[in-house]
Structure 1
Amino acid sequence: MGLNSISIDIMLPALPEIGQAMGSTLPNLAQLSIGMFLVGAAVSAFLIGPVADTFGRRLPILAGLAVFVLAALLTPLAPNMECLLALRLLQGLGVGTTRLSQAVLRDRYAGSEMAEAMSMSLMVFLILPVLAPLIGQAILLLVGWQAIFLTMAGLGAAVLAWTWIRLPETLAPENRREFSLGQIFAGLRTIAADRHAVGFGLSAMFLLGALYGFIASAQPVYADAFGLGALFPLAMAATAIVQSASAFVCTRLIRRMGALAVASMALRAYCGLAAALVLALCLHLLPFAVFLVLMMAVMAMFTWADATLGALSMSNLGKVAGTAASAFGAIQALGATVLGSLIGQFYDGTPSALVWGTLLLGLAALCASGWARERR
């Protein structure tokens, strides 16, 4: 799971240099390298699920990691932006198979137990953004942006080796499904008919869109709009530390309150904090310190909601966990990529697009979650 995060965060400080090196004349074109990566991950996640429900989780994950490493090694050789974007798409296609980690968790856990396990995974997953921008900044200053992709390849190779040695096959033989179009559509119908799955899955998609918008906008908002310059990775690291700590707290809350109660509380708090950001912006009372504190609190609530909504959406889908994980991964990633890219492309030199996008998508997530909880 961590490769997904590090493949984005480690290159954030280098986006302006990549755009210049590739001869880009549009200020937001380098940000498309993030969008292409996310699109590739979404497409891969959708295709790999039925395969994983037939042949297991281990082999598809290993194959995807190998593709990721190869694409990362080739990216520094890209002669232009188009070629670089194509290789980023290939990186995403490879790393998208790691979405099956959610199916691995569902093979072993369900309900609040799964939410607690996902929260623990998120705690480890969120430590990486603490280090990734700092590492990316250091590599950029000492060597150059090309070495950032070589670092991705090295990390991918390490994860590939570790996965080969340590990850067992978690799909029980009795849960394997025939690989056919009929079985694939039957699995998708099972997912579509489950109100909890659809509602909580859409809620997670809207929140993920807000997160992608934050990622796409972070470098210009922190470095340019608020004038942090090269210190922007420190602000990202502070946010990630808060998220990681909140994931640890989330595991305790789930144990005491249950996943549904924690998700509801997190979504309401998220929307309230986002509304405070919008109010401060409209009143011209949004200095960097206020923005940073409120945004860290918003991201903490995102962490609580993300861990619980994912588990809630999968709670009734144990028999089609691979297909469900891939379908949710594809729909959420594609939808979130579009929504997050819109926030990034609307950047106008101020945090306005990010602040308003955070609130609107938070409200959409709250509505989708409320619909999922309604009785028929």
Structure 2
Amino acid sequence: MTSKPVPAAMHPREFVAFIAAVMAVNALGVDLMLPALADIGRELAISDANHRQWIITVYMVGFGAGQLVYGPLADRFGRKPILVGTLIGFVAASVFAASSATFPALLGARLLQGLMSASTRVLAVAIVRDGASGRKMARTMSVAQMIFFVVPILAPTLGQALLAFGPWRFIFYALGAFAAVVLAWTLVRLPETLPVARRVPISLIALRQSYWLTLTNRFSIGYALAASLTFGGIIAFVSSSQQIFVDEFGAGAQFTWLFAICAGAMGLAAFANSRLVEKLGTRMISQSALLALIGLSIVHVLVIYAGLETLTSFTILQALSMTSIGLCGSNFGSMAMEPVGHIAGTASSVQGFITSIGAVLVGSAIGQAYAGTTLPLAVGYLCIGMAVLAIVYVIEGGLLFHARETQAKS
């Protein structure tokens, strides 16, 4: 059974913009407060600069853990009511964060924010998958991610602007306000995309079957693991970017636009992918990008060991690496979802949990290794690239750059 690729109440362009806005709730939750980390550290007496990274990491832990819950709920009750309820929760968590008086209280609020925003990842994928699959799904997700990636470009600048008008707490009020706008959009414009006939009752037997199918299909679990490693590279950069640009290179005044260059590279990658994926296929693009990431990481490590690392070299190599990661991300996600589309909600939640928690572990390990040099980030990216290459090699049965696709071009 197939359905229209776009909900009946929405124009295709509005649908893509809506999916991007839903995804942006999480992106803003991660990136908007980056310029404020130093201010938060001073006001809440965070003595170790690396501990400021937990403001990002704890959020991602909640984001990963929450995804296990929302998939089964969305498959049982539909997409819209779950999205509405969690957006309300995100608004409340943002208010709690803004009123936090201690570092532990802020971390608790951030954990709650992550738990609520977890639905945005699960439901964005499930809503798209309700009406599209294969390369068409990859194209839709790429266009949405192209818009979505504009958020990290603008978020630090927006955060800096908010700091010009008030304390860091304004940033969390802004997060709540944006989520409220998406909530209103959902209530007014989004129809339910999961027909009653396709809903799955919540039962231990059904969950066990869905989890088992998701975890035992080599494409589903393999590409989810691959996505977790590449996503870990993003978290490592985001969590340590303020320290690298400001503390190591002394580029505090240029931080927002230097960060935007690196994030913008991912946006350009998503745009290119949306134009090329139906012609070249998800495997050709993602595997080429993966080899590029490995090559760039080797060059970066050699530059650092030669004592030639500068702000310029780091920005260029990081932007190119983020381009490679951007070309891997949406394609890995689409390939992971393809064989389990008939249980899209639950499968998306399991894959999202694996991707997010794995990314937190990888990104935190790299970020906490920061000690005044970019070497841990460069070496971390090289290890990520080699590990993902091994995973892809196993998934594809020892074949790379072959023409097989799980879905015909049409």
TM-score (norm 1): 0.97
* Alignment match, 2:65: 43
Unaligned 5+ residue runs, structure 1?
none
* Alignment match, 1:52: 74
Q: RMSD between aligned alpha carbons?
A: 1.3
> Which amino acid in the other structure matches residue 347 of structure 1?
Y
Counterpart among 362, 373, 397 of residue 374 in structure 1: 397
1:288-367 matches, within 5 Å, as: 288-367=311-390
Contact 1:198 1:372 in 2 (8 A): no
Residues 1:65 and 2:93 are matched in the alignment: no
1:209-220 matches, within 5 Å, as: 209-220=232-243
* Alignment match, 1:275: 298
Contact 2:135 2:278 in 1 (8 A): yes
Residues 1:82 and 2:117 are matched in the alignment: no
Secondary structure of the 2:37 match is: helix
> Which amino acid in the other structure matches residue 119 of structure 1?
S
Contact 1:210 1:362 in 2 (8 A): no
Give distance in 2, aligned partners of 1:343 and 1:98. 26
Contact 1:120 1:248 in 2 (8 A): yes
1:148-163 matches, within 5 Å, as: 148-163=171-186
Give the deviation of 1:248 after TM superposition.
Answer: 1.1
Give distance in 1, aligned partners of 2:253 and 2:154. 15
* Alignment match, 2:260: 237
Give distance in 1, aligned partners of 2:367 and 2:279. 38
> Which amino acid in the other structure matches residue 57 of structure 1?
R
Give distance in 1, aligned partners of 2:112 and 2:278. 39
Contact 2:156 2:256 in 1 (8 A): yes
1:127-146 matches, within 5 Å, as: 127-146=150-169
Deviations 1:91-137 (A, max 9, x none): 11111111121111111111111111111111010001111100111
The count of corresponding residues between Structure 1 and Structure 2 is 376
> Which amino acid in the other structure matches residue 187 of structure 1?
S
* Alignment match, 1:32: 54
Give distance in 2, aligned partners of 1:145 and 1:313. 38
Unaligned 5+ residue runs, structure 2?
1-22, 400-410
* C-alpha spacing 1:8/1:266, structure 2 compared with 1 (3 Å): same
> Which amino acid in the other structure matches residue 109 of structure 1?
A
Give the deviation of 1:207 after TM superposition.
Answer: 0.3
Give distance in 2, aligned partners of 1:63 and 1:95. 11
Identity of aligned residues (%): 35
Counterpart among 15, 24, 28 of residue 6 in structure 1: 28
Residues 1:186 and 2:186 are matched in the alignment: no
Give distance in 2, aligned partners of 1:46 and 1:15. 29
Structure 1 runs of 4+ with >3 Å offset: none
> Which amino acid in the other structure matches residue 202 of structure 1?
L
Give the deviation of 1:180 after TM superposition.
Answer: 0.4
Secondary structure of the 1:88 match is: helix
Counterpart among 130, 133, 139 of residue 110 in structure 1: 133
Give distance in 1, aligned partners of 2:125 and 2:103. 33
* Alignment match, 2:143: 120
Deviations 1:213-260 (A, max 9, x none): 011111000111111013211101122222212211111221211112
Give distance in 1, aligned partners of 2:390 and 2:195. 36
Give distance in 2, aligned partners of 1:277 and 1:114. 34
Give distance in 2, aligned partners of 1:368 and 1:167. 38
Give the deviation of 1:166 after TM superposition.
Answer: 2.0
Give the deviation of 1:375 after TM superposition.
Answer: 6.8
Give the deviation of 1:361 after TM superposition.
Answer: 1.2
